[in-house]
Amino acid sequence: MGIGEIDGWSAAPLDSAGDGFRLAQLVTKEVRKHGRHLLGDQLLETLAEIQHRRGNRDPFLHAFLDAILARHQDRFRNQTYLALPLLDQVLADPRSGLDPERLSALLIADIVAHESQPSSAGRTDPETRRKRITHAKRLLTALGSADITDLPLPPRTAAGAWLPLTVLPVSLVHDEYFFIRALQTHELVFRTLTADVQAATHALRAGQVDAATAALLRADKVFQRAAMLFRIVATMRADQFHDFRQFTEGASAIQSESYKRFEVCCGEPKPSRIRSEAFTNVPAVQAGAHRQDNVARAFLDLHRQGRIDDSAGTRLRFAIDQLEASHQRWKITHYRLAARMLGNAHGSGYTAGVPYLEQCLRNRLFTTAAGT
Ligand code: HEM
Residue 272 belongs to some domain of the structure: yes
Q: pLDDT by residue (tens digit) across 103-155?
A: 999 999 999 999 998 765 566 788 999 999 999 999 999 998 766 678 899 99
Look at residue 5 in the predicted model and tell me its pLDDT. Answer: 75
Residue 334 belongs to some domain of the structure: yes
Whether 1 has a pLDDT exceeding 50, the answer reads no
Residue 171 belongs to some domain of the structure: no
Ligand 1 site, residue 258, Cβ cutoff 6 A? no
Phi, psi of 219 (to 5 degrees): -60, -40
Contact 260, 362 (CB under 8 A): no
Residue 53: pLDDT band (50, 70, 90) is confident
Distance of CA 337 from the midpoint of ligand 1 (Å)? 9
Q: pLDDT by residue (tens digit) across 25-35?
A: 999 999 999 99
- Centre a 10 Å sphere on the Cβ of residue 212 and count the other Cβ atoms it contains: 29
Residue 13: pLDDT band (50, 70, 90) is low
Question: Mean pLDDT score of the chain, rounded to an integer?
Answer: 92
Residue 170 belongs to some domain of the structure: no
**Residue 234 CA to its chain's centroid (Å):** 17
Look at residue 36 in the predicted model and tell me its pLDDT. Answer: 93
Question: Which residue segment(s) compose the domain that 78 sits in?
Answer: 3-92
Distance of CA 202 from the midpoint of ligand 1 (Å)? 30
Pick the atom of ligand 1 nearest to 254's CA: 37
Nearest CA to ligand 1 atom 23: 338
Look at residue 334 in the predicted model and tell me its pLDDT. Answer: 97
Residue 152 belongs to some domain of the structure: no
Q: What value does the mean pLDDT take over residues 40-65? A: 92
Residue 155 belongs to some domain of the structure: no
* Total tally of structural domains belonging to the chain: 2
Mutational test site, ligand 1, from 334, 340, 354, max ligand atoms within 8 Å of CB: 334
Mutational test site, ligand 1, from 254, 255, 279, 341, max ligand atoms within 8 Å of CB: 254
Look at residue 265 in the predicted model and tell me its pLDDT. Answer: 98
- Centre a 10 Å sphere on the Cβ of residue 146 and count the other Cβ atoms it contains: 7
Domain boundary among 74, 92, 110: 92
Look at residue 24 in the predicted model and tell me its pLDDT. Answer: 94
Look at residue 199 in the predicted model and tell me its pLDDT. Answer: 98
Domain boundary among 49, 66, 92: 92
Phi, psi of 311 (to 5 degrees): -70, -40
Distance of CA 334 from the midpoint of ligand 1 (Å)? 7
- Centre a 10 Å sphere on the Cβ of residue 155 and count the other Cβ atoms it contains: 19
Phi, psi of 174 (to 5 degrees): -50, -45
Look at residue 124 in the predicted model and tell me its pLDDT. Answer: 78
Look at residue 7 in the predicted model and tell me its pLDDT. Answer: 76
Q: pLDDT by residue (tens digit) across 266-289?
A: 999 999 999 999 999 999 999 999
Sign of the C-alpha dihedral computed for residues 252, 341, 36 and 121 taken in this order: negative
Residue 261 belongs to some domain of the structure: yes
> Are 204 and 73 found together in one domain?
no
Contact 167, 180 (CB under 8 A): yes
Distance of CA 183 from the midpoint of ligand 1 (Å)? 10
Pick the atom of ligand 1 nearest to 185's CA: 30
Cα 189 to Cα 101, 213, 276, 364: the distances in Å are 8, 19, 24, 19
> Are 333 and 204 found together in one domain?
yes
Whether 369 has a pLDDT exceeding 60, the answer reads no
Residue 86: pLDDT band (50, 70, 90) is very high
> Are 229 and 365 found together in one domain?
yes
Contact 108, 167 (CB under 8 A): no
Residue 46 belongs to some domain of the structure: yes
Q: pLDDT by residue (tens digit) across 192-235?
A: 999 999 999 999 999 999 999 999 999 999 998 899 999 999 99
Look at residue 67 in the predicted model and tell me its pLDDT. Answer: 98
Residue 255: pLDDT band (50, 70, 90) is very high
Domain boundary among 49, 73, 92: 92
Ligand 1 site, residue 285, Cβ cutoff 6 A? no
Q: pLDDT by residue (tens digit) across 333-356?
A: 999 999 999 999 999 989 999 999
More confident site: 240 or 372? 240
